[in-house]
């Protein structure tokens, strides 16, 4: 069953780049952007992270929390944050990626004729009540933050 706008966002508690737990339920009362991405410091993922970084002031001004989620560990996340001066939180969803699976963002992928299980580039906006407000399954990494701001009427 596919997630739809208006559905309750799957709750989670994942470790951030410092090893501290971040719970979606604890963020109720504010809008949250959750974006799933395949791997730290790769071309597409870097473009996406930097787009969120470059639009950070618009998200921050509205009190919107941004969370990036991949399979990478805290050490990788910390290096990625430091290298690109990312002002938001990155979370680790380790194999078998239960949170990405709950968000329908982990599954069978194909690359150069080979099939494998991997993280999909999807983005979700969760409203202050914990419901899915926007969802994107076709993501343009370079402009995802711009698209979210436009769709929320903030651009």
Active site residues: 45
CA distance 93 to 102: 11
* Alpha-carbon span 78 to 89, nearest angstrom: 10
Phi, psi (deg, nearest 5) at residue 99: -70, -45
CB atoms under 10 Å from CB of 141, counted, come to 19
* 62, 112, 115 from 52: Cα distances, Å: 14, 29, 30
């Amino acid at each position: 069953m596919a997630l739809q706008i208006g559905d309750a966002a799957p709750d989670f508690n994942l470790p951030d780049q410092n090893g501290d737990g971040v719970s979606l339920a604890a963020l109720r009362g504010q809008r949250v952007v959750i974006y799933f991405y395949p791997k730290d410091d790769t071309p597409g993922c870097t473009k996406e992270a930097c787009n969120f970084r470059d639009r950070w002031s618009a998200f921050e001004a509205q009190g919107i929390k941004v969370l990036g989620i991949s399979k990478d560990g805290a050490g990788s996340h910390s290096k990625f944050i430091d290298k690109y001066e990312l002002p938001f939180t990155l979370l680790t969803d380790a194999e078998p990626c239960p949170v990405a699976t709950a968000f329908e963002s982990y599954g069978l992928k194909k690359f150069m004729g080979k099939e494998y299980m991997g993280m999909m580039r999807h983005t979700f906006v969760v409203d202050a009540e914990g419901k899915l407000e926007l969802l994107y399954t076709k993501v343009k990494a370079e402009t995802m933050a711009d698209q979210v701001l436009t769709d929320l009427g903030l651009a």
